[in-house]
Structure 1
Amino acid sequence: MTEPKPLIRANEPGGRSIDDPSDDAVHDLLADMNLSHRVVIVRRLDREPVDEHYMQVYLNDDFSYHVEYREGGEDRHFQAEVPWQGDVIGPRPVAAVISDWMHEREGWREALPWVPWPSDRNRPTVSDQVPAVGTELRTTRLVLQRPTAADIDAILAIHSDPAACLHNPSDAIGCRGEAEELYGRWDAQWESCGYGYWAVRRVGSGTLLGFCGIKPMELNGREILNLFYRLAPSAWGQGFAAEAATAVAAWATRNVPELPLIARVRPANTASRRVALRAGLARAEHLDGPGIDGHDLIFAANLSG
């Protein structure tokens, strides 16, 4: 007996493809999105032409969602912006709309603020926004700049905060002199390498949220770039760390492509694990091993050979 043809196909470009996905499968595809894998497309295969009946979700830099649907010609093409509502809610509102659309249930058209799709719309990627050279990086919400001596007090405040250094107590400092020494090491790396740790601020604000950057080091006898991100606890839970780490990872991939990018994460630090994944790194279990503060889980990008 010939198997029936699927009616719906969900896929990530270059990744998974699921025919007639369940509601849970759609939710999981959206939950697995990160800033290196931004797009999920759900197509109807029972309507002609197939390529003009779909829903597509794009993950923005700030982890909000850009959702579009099309039902035929250009006059039936719409879009909506859905803000990020935190890890607890995650993609559920968008997944619910797609599920209702798949099953032709009522209410999905009213669930989001749809507006017509401009015919000339082009969407930039993170790599389009990160300059190839220079010391300043920008994302939708953040500006990353080379630290200066004026940032020493912020270095002390963050690195003396027990919560900020909970999983890496060896990074903790206790006085301004230690902060000055740490800044001196960061500045020396900038002088010798042309890159290092960036100070992270909100666009349009002088408030420093934390630090994120890369440092050359060795792991298991191999030269790598270590991805670092540490923000003040007051800046947690808003996607800033992942947004900054993604900008830095994109810069490293474009400008230091010969070195693998590594993030070392303590097993209990689930938030840091999410940041590494959203920045486009993947688990590299074969590199796990002891670190200064205990066992390190390794996440990696550009890992070959």
Structure 2
Amino acid sequence: MAEPRLRMTDAAGQSWDDPSDTQIQRLFASLNLSCPFLALQRLDVPNDSQYYLQIALNDDLTMVLEYRDRGPTEHYRADVPLQAESGGDEIVIPVLLDWAARRPGWRGTLPWQRWDVAREAPWGD
């Protein structure tokens, strides 16, 4: 059996290897303030690299996405100022699916900003 290339994990610690597009969409739809986080992680990359895309709900149900390609110098975030039911899903779901499938152009949907440690993790790394 082949090793998984992708793993999706939720805030409760449940994980799914090589999730289908349908699973990714269902897991996104299940986000709520009790389970406000999903992460997609590439497993088919060198061990010293970090490739992930994650999404978190804010308290007002708007969203923030974050991705990392390789290491800390390629770490970005983007805010989605809409709740899922107000159109945020139409922005976020294609990004999740395109990133998972390695389709080019997934970055073009959102205004990505370099990760700012002072803003994102004022308590330290």
**TM-score higher than 0.5 here?**
yes
User: Would the alpha carbon gap of residues 39 and 101 (structure 1) be closer, same or farther in structure 2, given more than 3 Å must change?
Assistant: same
CA distance in 2, matches of 1:16, 1:46: 20
CA distance in 1, matches of 2:25, 2:49: 22
- From 63, 66, 70, the equivalent of 1:65 is 63
Q: Is the CA contact (8 Å cut-off) linking 1:31 and 1:90 kept in structure 2?
A: no
User: Would the alpha carbon gap of residues 50 and 25 (structure 1) be closer, same or farther in structure 2, given more than 3 Å must change?
Assistant: farther
Aligned residues: 122
Larger Rg: 1
- Residue 16 of structure 1: how far off its partner (Å): 2.7
CA distance in 2, matches of 1:29, 1:15: 13
Q: Which residue of 2 aligns with 1:36?
A: 34
SS class of match (1:95):
helix
- Residue 92 of structure 1: how far off its partner (Å): 3.5
Q: Which residue of 2 aligns with 1:98?
A: 96
- Residue 24 of structure 1: how far off its partner (Å): 1.6
Deviation per residue, 1:33-70 (Å, 9 max, x gap)? 11121110100000123771100101001111100000
Deviation per residue, 1:212-267 (Å, 9 max, x gap)? xxxxxxxxxxxxxxxxxxxxxxxxxxxxxxxxxxxxxxxxxxxxxxxxxxxxxxxx
User: Would the alpha carbon gap of residues 39 and 86 (structure 1) be closer, same or farther in structure 2, given more than 3 Å must change?
Assistant: closer
Q: Which residue of 2 aligns with 1:52?
A: 50
Paired residue type of 2:28? L
Ranked by relative contact order (alpha carbons within 8 Å, sequence separation 6 or more), the top structure is: 2
Q: Is the CA contact (8 Å cut-off) linking 2:50 and 2:71 kept in structure 1?
A: yes
Q: Which residue of 2 aligns with 1:17?
A: 15
- % same residue: 37
Paired residue type of 2:19? P
Q: Unmatched 5+ residue regions in structure 2?
A: none
CA distance in 1, matches of 2:48, 2:111: 25
SS class of match (1:87):
helix
SS class of match (2:117):
coil
Q: Unmatched 5+ residue regions in structure 1?
A: 124-305
Deviation per residue, 1:143-181 (Å, 9 max, x gap)? xxxxxxxxxxxxxxxxxxxxxxxxxxxxxxxxxxxxxxx
Q: Which residue of 2 aligns with 1:75?
A: 73
Paired residue type of 1:117? W
CA distance in 1, matches of 2:100, 2:21: 9
Q: Which residue of 2 aligns with 1:26?
A: 24
TM-score (ref. length: structure 1): 0.37
CA distance in 1, matches of 2:75, 2:37: 17
Deviation per residue, 1:268-304 (Å, 9 max, x gap)? xxxxxxxxxxxxxxxxxxxxxxxxxxxxxxxxxxxxx
CA RMSD of aligned residues (A): 2.1
Q: Is the CA contact (8 Å cut-off) linking 2:39 and 2:53 kept in structure 1?
A: yes
Q: Which residue of 2 aligns with 1:122?
A: 121
CA distance in 1, matches of 2:81, 2:5: 30
